[in-house]
Structure 1
């Protein structure tokens, strides 16, 4: 595709009347999906040769005979070239779409322009089948509004980036990299990315595999020192897919507290779980596992002969120009590094707790920026790092797992997604690739703020959001009944949909401050529908009706409150008046 991108400028120089006609014809007649796939696959597989033909034909408005096309393109007069010239001409639906009485070469010239637009992703047909229904402009407007809510209600601090077809649709920083020094976050701020680091560890293993230096299906004991006998049946592939059955050491009591503050040798870390019995038979069960990825880091070092940090620098950070990505070390001066903050309550936050990041090693020890993570996600679209066969293996679910080689894999609606979330010391990161979109959200305040933002944006683009914040725009004008339907649909789509009574109350309280009492009543009513056993939900609704002198509705809700808790003093007091 690199040559295709290089040709894009030349293709755009085609006459506007010509190109718009092709797109209009294509959109109007709605080619059958099977026909579209056949044409797209055929043209994509020989894309560079098609473009040579396009260039030659574009120089002659009246078309060219076949021999001159071959002479002009320097293509061989072989069966492959004949197929390139024949396929568009022989397809009956192409002829029908064009509907022209001109020569076949002229028809072919026009159709090749259409094929070029398909290759370059300039038509909307495929996207309308499985992609977002929103335009890039609509997406940017919605994310801007959503983030205003997130900052106002959740005190979001960090960076959000949305890319579509390689183009940034939205990119903005919020809050502070350092609140004590009043240094704002920027798009170049470097954040701890937690377990998103695992995608780099897995890529290191996979690169060694591509170079035939590692066998993914060999026992890990082939590459590890002091390997207990009951690890013999565990493979590297099972470590990658979290199906090894090994105990995850970060969940052990002995790996808490002061253990996190001190630096430890790799032997000391592995000794925490080396002698513990397996939790499941290798390969039979998925269980997210930090021990496995710690071992993968050691395997990279053993096979490559250099430290994991050096390997990542030499093979990824430097050649891929990930200039703002590296290993997070406390003693290292890292320009533009963000500090982490713990959100105690709505109005109070403090410095995050300290840990020794050396212990995070291959499981979560990197820092990066949103821009670098975008570059990293894009790598898996090309053969810059991995051959096509290997990339398919990376993005294929392992047996008994929803994990590939370093990535979580699932679908949102009908849209395949590969992604990874990460959290460490109140930093949270989510890197998600779905269709032609990349969504990145990173936060340095709160345990999962960045992750919630990313899931809401993905939900808005493709199905339903993941938290109440994703429907807050609707909460500013919809009725309680419609909002209840929306919440229920969101819960069906995303069972962990984040909503609770307090979050709903916060929205209603804010509407009251804006003197939007009518809509606030809809939101307080929504709370009674969502939480019918809550005395406070009915109390708040009753007090709001009382504020607009609607005594009938106020008394009804105070009585409902007392049915739940006959001792509620406030409801009793209101009823006495």
Structure 2
């Protein structure tokens, strides 16, 4: 069975010219582990199983776990109002927005990158220097005084700005810088020793550069197409093994207690009329015949594509990290098919 999966997934990796690393494990049993493509094309440095990859919005679940930890400690509640936590003027925001609304993308606030009306994330940085975007407060001018897009709780609207605000809540309540808190309370606790919120102008060793294909078939890096440093809404770097460690730590209640973990993984919002797909706190949840079939996270940026899932029935974890804008989804789906 392992060989069949290996052959099928390898065929898809070849078909899409995949650049990245794949890991599939059931507990500690490795079913698939494979790398292809280059972490650095100019110097012909190959991707490998220990390469760190950007995961874009795939790290929203880390932010959600941080919020849940603060709730678990009694320093916050899911019904706490944003207007009562942050001493920041949001002149046109509804004062009834709660932490729960932000976690589930139902706050109705404007987004600095609205995926319902915008297509290319790189367009944001034509007039706004990406090298200045190094913490959550740097994003505030992009949406802080814009009008509400929807009524609070009206519907699901995937929203990056909401998670920027959650990151500022983590800082306000914990008294720590966001990345300091995440490293101490999540990465270190889960054994994710190679992961972090790294700056593009100071990347550690064995970190893949993101690559964007141009119309003539040539390539450029994504260094001018994404913020110089990731944060609460996206942009962390992980290895495939570190992402597996995260799922294991989460499901073994090493990051949160059992009751709080269940709150994180509750399917609160039905997000897709065509599928039994829901959203919890920072995580997508698929159902099949009223049973949860998988918890999964994903991320796309210019030069980044990422998918990872935990399948509760089997205990299987799949992680697909790519330093190209496309390819991860194709490989991820073939893993599921196999």
TM-score range, shorter chain: 0.7 to 0.9
Equivalent residue in structure 2 for 1:420, among 284, 297, 307: 297
Deviation at 1:220, TM superposition (A): 0.8
Task: Please state whether the residue corresponding to 1:331 is helix, strand or coil.
Answer: helix
322, 326, 335: which one pairs with 1:448? 326
Correspondent of 2:113 among 229, 241, 250: 250
Q: Does 1:352 pair with 2:221?
A: yes
Q: Distance in 1 between matches of 2:15 and 2:326?
A: 15
Determine which of 298, 320, 335 is the counterpart of 2:205.
335
Structure 2 counterparts to residues 145-544 of structure 1, below 5 A: 145-228=7-90, 230-251=93-114, 255-264=124-133, 266-344=136-214, 348-355=217-224, 357-358=227-228, 360-399=230-269, 402-411=278-287, 415-435=292-312, 436-445=315-324, 447-458=325-336, 460-461=337-338
The higher radius of gyration belongs to 1
Q: 2 CA distance for matches of 1:318 and 1:388?
A: 20
Q: Does 1:143 align with 2:5?
A: yes
Change (3 A) 1:145 1:287: same
CA contact (8 A) 2:109 2:162 kept: yes
- Tell which has more relative contact order, 1 or 2 (C-alpha 8 A, sep 6+): 2
Judging changes above 3 Å, is the alpha-carbon distance between structure 1 residues 165 and 412 closer, same or farther for their aligned structure 2 residues? farther
* Aligned equivalents of 2:258, 2:51: Cα separation in 1: 33
| 1:554-565 equivalences in 2 (<5 Å) | none
With over 3 angstroms needed to count, the CA separation of the structure-2 counterparts of 1:455 and 1:153, relative to structure 1, is: closer
Task: Report how far residue 335 of structure 1 moved.
Answer: 1.1
SS in 2 for 1:225: coil
The answer to whether the Cα contact below 8 Å between 1:173 and 1:187 also exists between their aligned partners in 2 is: yes
Q: 1:427 to 1:185 in 2, by over 3 A?
A: same
Q: Give the Cα separation in 2 of the matches to 1:232 and 1:336.
A: 45
Per the alignment, do residues 358 and 152 of structure 1 end up closer, same or farther by CA in structure 2, a change over 3 Å counting? closer
Contact 1:428/1:449 (8 A) holds in 2: yes
2: CA distance, partners of 1:400 / 1:275: 29
CA drift of 1:199 comes to 1.1
* SS of match in other structure, 2:61: helix
Compute the displacement of 1:403 (Å).
1.1
Structure-2 change in CA distance of 1:159 and 1:260 (3 Å): farther
The structure with the largest strand share of the pair is 2
Deviation (angstroms), 1:344: 4.1
Mapping 1:70-81, distance limit 5 Å = none
Normalised TM-score (structure 2): 0.88
For 2:321 and 2:250, locate their aligned partners in 1 and report how far apart those are by CA, in whole Å. Answer: 20
Q: TM-score, normalised by structure 1?
A: 0.53
Deviation at 1:437, TM superposition (A): 1.4
Offset, 1:256: 4.0
Report how many aligned residue pairs link the two structures: 320
Q: Look up the SS of the partner of 2:49 in the other structure.
A: coil
Distance 1:412 1:350, change over 3 A: farther
2:274: which partner in 1?
none
Q: Is the alpha carbon distance of 1:380 and 1:318 closer, same or farther for their aligned partners in structure 2, counting shifts above 3 Å?
A: closer
Task: Answer yes or no: is the 8 Å Cα contact 1:285–1:400 preserved in 2.
Answer: no
Distance (whole Å) between structure 2 residues aligned to residue 152 and residue 169 of structure 1: 19
The Cα offsets for residues 294-316 of structure 1, whole Å up to 9 and x where unpaired, read as 00111101111110010011112
The 1-side partners of 2:229 and 2:195 are apart by 18
Distance in 1, matches of 2:326 and 2:219, equals 16
Give 3-state SS (helix, strand or coil) of 1:262's partner: helix
SS of equivalent to 2:150: coil
Identify, as 1 or 2, the structure richer in helix: 1
